[in-house]
Structures are given as structure tokens and as C-alpha cells.
Structure 1
């Protein structure tokens, strides 16, 4: 789910503020574009259970859904909603990356720590809290774009929203300004732990690896630790991500409301109607995009770091 804010943490002092923001944002947007087909498949599987019976859900598979998209919507439909994904990802990645470093520094000052790395347990705590705060900050500031992204990606044969601005205007007009924040509670409940787990697993795994095998390639270490952190975070918070997607689609385009009992009531409803496995509908394409996503972010960030390293701190 969130990888771009971790790959360049050790080099953050070498970049100015502008370099940090641009490198994190562009790397995240490029990675999302490359893995957009898998991301759309994830969303389509996540929202299937809202208006499908059990028999149709059992028949669903990656190949069948990918074939349906090509046959009914065309190959370009794999990138449906990608423009708003980029519009969302640029500020989201930049804010999460930049604020994570600032939150870590602030926590070190508040706890009176003079140097980093002196206490492993304290460092893990700081990474956990800093990652969670960074995720909540970024998600709150960019949430309407995330909701629009979900609604555009979930459209199949019938087009209700014709683009970003049309979707924003339509949602505001039909559902009110608060309609742009449907599912925000589930988002914040999930995105904080997601970034906290991924940041802490990445930093801790990398530190342990390099302390035992300091001569290993930094590229190999970053790819392996980044992939592990994303898999760990995705596995833990995926049910909340699924609930978030379904709540974002409640009432969209005249849809009937399915879930009326909040986050935990929705979790209970899904478990009862679709079983425990229903909470992980769409996890397979999410796993498939982990390694390429981490690799693309890392390589892009490293290249951009070289370009922006000479930009002074503003």
C-alpha cells in the first residue's frame, strides 16, 4: 500500500525540502501508474460483495476479471481513474514522506533523545508513532481525491462520473460536502496503522540486516525490507481498507445503501454474509504488486534524489 515514503529515509539530510517533496511525490505517482491494472483489480474485487450474490462471488478470479475488462471496457480501462490517482498520490506521497521525517525529529526532541539508534525499542516506538501521524495527516488532507479515485475505478460498463471535476461537483451536489468524506473514519483507522507498521518494519528490518550483513547491496536490502513491510501492513489492515472502499461507494450514482451500522457493523455484516475470507477479497492482486511497486519507487527515488540533491533548503 504505502512504499514511497520509506525508500529514501537515510538520505533525507542530503535533500532540501523541495527535493524531498518532489522526489517522494513523483516516485509514488510513477509507481502507481505502472501498477494501476493490479490496483484497479483490487478495488473491483473489494466492492464485489456489495451487490452480488454468493454464487457469483465464488466464480470470481483474476484472469476472468481481467478478461472481462479487456472484452467489455478495452485495455485502457485498466488505467481507469489513474489521472486522479496521480493527482492524489503526488501530494499524499510528498506529505507522508516529509511529515514522517518531521514527526520523528519532533518526537526525538520531546523525548529528549540526543542521537538516533541508541535505544532500539525507543526508535521502534518513534517510527510507529511517526508513521501513524504521517499517514493520518496525508490521508486527511487528500481524502476527497481518494474517494473520487475509488468511484472512478469502480465504474465498469456504465459511466456516471465523467472525470475528476465532474465527480467532485456531482458528489457535492447530490450528497453534500460531507459526501466527499464518506469512509474517512475507516480510512484514518486503517491508514495510521498501515504506515506505522510499514515504516517500523522497514526501518527495523533494514537496521537489523545491515548490522549483521553490512556488505550486502543497499538495493537488495531496500527491496527486500520494503516488500516485507508492505506485505505485513497489507495483511493486517486490508479488512479496514475493504470497508473503506465499500463505504466510499455508499449511495454513489443512486446506489442503494447496504451498510448502515458504521465501521464495525460493516465488518460484522461482511463476515456474516461473505465469511471471514470476504474481508480479504482482492488481497491477491494487492500482494502481486508489492515487489514491482517497491522496486519502481526505490529506483525512481534514487534517480530523483541525484537530480534534487543540490536544491537548497527553503
Structure 2
């Protein structure tokens, strides 16, 4: 993997633009690739008795709806998570540097690195979710209604806007924040800490390791971080699916959450957890693999 002849200076506009592009490349394709798994997960979150397993879900969908329907929500996923990846990865790099140099002194920043990671990732995700939310709303409606709410993402956007206006795109923003912000805080902070721990145990310093070796560390750290992400954010993920599919007209977010929780209970918040652990663990590891591979390709250091 060769580096570019052009040297990108850290923390410049060019650097942040590269990180934004890396986030798009890392998140859009990976989330889109697991659309069939996400489809079954979302439907099981809404109705845990719908399928006996992932395989049973795919067989049932192919038998009743056709093979192409296992990719229901692909377009909304690709667009939404590309935008989210741009905001999440680019924003994280920006706010990590901003908080370390403009909010804290260098001494405090080096002492409280965990706090910097948590604050930077939370801020970045807050912004990223504003871009993601309209497409997440379309995706969930497509995946949890039979026949699907719409045939494609653009038809879905038009349909929601014509009937509900802009608020229709953001009725799930609060549970999305509750799902994604803790998820991203765990994702980035645990990744940084896990990767640091791995490098500390290895006999060769990171500076002397090849790019391939460093990327292998990123992949391992990403998968372990992904497992933690899935567990922390799963209850909110269930509520996002339920609220987007079952919230009544005129019902407040709080009332909808209370009503749904009374029906599903605490155990219901964990429907589909094992599927999500596999999905998020795989997603997170490949996202870090792609993101850091991209950074190495353009001459930037790997994360961590």
C-alpha cells in the first residue's frame, strides 16, 4: 500500500476533507452491505415472533416477496450512512483536536484523553445524526411494513414530506440520538483504548510497524469495540424501530416510548441483540479497516 507523494498536513482543511471522505467510504458501503441482516433485525424488533431465525427470515422474505426484497432499505441506508460517516469520522477528528487545543491545555488533554475522546465523538455524532435521521426514518418504514412503505428512497422522501412535512423526517431524532451517541462514544473511545492496549503489548513500537500490521491492529480493535457498541446501544435501537413504525399521529415522543415500553417490557428491549452483535461487530471492524487503510493510502497515520 503506497503513500501519496503529496503530504497532507494534519489538522488542515485538506486533512479534515480527507477524513470526511474516509468516513463516507467506511460507512456507506459497509452499512449497505448488511442490509439483509438489518432487515430481519428490524422486523424482529417490531415483531419477535415473525421469524424463527435470520435464515428463516430470509427464506420467508424470498418466498413471499422475492429475492430482491432482502435488500429493502438499501438506498436509504447507502445515502443516510454515507452522510453520517462523513459527519462522524470527520467530526471526530476535528473535535478531538479542537477540544485538546482550544478547550483544554495540552497538559490537561494528555491527562484526560478519555474525556476528550468521549466529548469529541458525542459532538460529532450529534451533528451526524441530523443528516442521518431522514434516511433512517425512510429505511425503517420500508423495512417494517409489508408491502413496503415505498419502492425507493426518493419516493419515500416525497411521501413523508407531502403527508407530514419536515417533522416527519425527525420524529425519531431523540431516540436516534439516544442510540447513536452512546454507540459512537463507546465505538471511538473503546477503539482508541483497545488499540493503545494492543500496541502496548506488542514487541514492536507502532512507529516501526508496517502499514499492514497497523491496519490489522485497527481491524481487531474495531471488532472488539463493535461488540461493546452493540450492547450499549441496542435498547435504543429497538425503540427507534418501534417508534418509527408504531408512533401514532399527534403522539409525543415520551408518550409513544411509554406506551411501547408497556407492551414490550424490559426484555423486549433486547430483541435481536445477538444479530446486532454480529452485524455491528462486523461493521465496526470493517469500518476501521477501510478508514485506516484509506488514511494510509493518502499518507496519513492510522488512528490510535
TM-score normalized by structure 2? Answer: 0.82
What pairs up with 1:126-141 in 2 under 5 angstroms? Answer: 126-141=116-131
Residue 78 of structure 1: aligned partner? 70
Deviation at 1:97, TM superposition (A): 0.6
The yes-or-no answer on 1:146 pairing with 2:136 is yes
Deviation at 1:86, TM superposition (A): 0.9
Deviation at 1:102, TM superposition (A): 1.1
CA distance in 1, matches of 2:246, 2:103: 43
Match of 1:249, SS state, is helix
CA distance in 2, matches of 1:258, 1:171: 13
Deviation at 1:34, TM superposition (A): 2.2
The yes-or-no answer on 1:194 pairing with 2:191 is no
Match of 2:167 among 175, 178, 183: 178
Gaps of at least 5 residues in structure 2 are 1-7
Q: CA 1:212–1:67 in structure 2 vs 1: closer, same or farther (change >3 Å)?
A: same
Deviation at 1:243, TM superposition (A): 0.8
CA distance in 2, matches of 1:281, 1:12: 46
Residue 38 of structure 1: aligned partner? 37
Match of 1:281 among 268, 271, 278: 271
The yes-or-no answer on 1:155 pairing with 2:145 is yes
TM-score normalized by structure 1? Answer: 0.80
Deviation at 1:45, TM superposition (A): 1.2
Match of 2:269, SS state, is helix
The yes-or-no answer on 1:208 pairing with 2:205 is no
- Cα deviation, 1:94-133, whole Å, max 9, x if unaligned, reads 11111111111111123433269732xx100110111111
Residue 110 of structure 1: aligned partner? 102
Residue 225 of structure 2: aligned partner? 229
Q: How many pairs were matched up?
A: 284
Gaps of at least 5 residues in structure 1 are 1-10, 50-55, 252-256
Residue 25 of structure 2: aligned partner? 26
Asked whether the equivalents of residues 16 and 309 of structure 1 are also in contact (C-alpha less than 8 Å), the reply is no
Match of 1:96 among 85, 88, 95: 88
Asked whether the equivalents of residues 231 and 277 of structure 2 are also in contact (C-alpha less than 8 Å), the reply is no
CA distance in 2, matches of 1:302, 1:147: 30
Q: CA 1:269–1:231 in structure 2 vs 1: closer, same or farther (change >3 Å)?
A: farther
Residue 5 of structure 2: aligned partner? none
Cα RMSD, aligned residues only: 2.8
Asked whether the equivalents of residues 99 and 134 of structure 1 are also in contact (C-alpha less than 8 Å), the reply is yes
CA distance in 1, matches of 2:250, 2:262: 13
Deviation at 1:202, TM superposition (A): 0.8
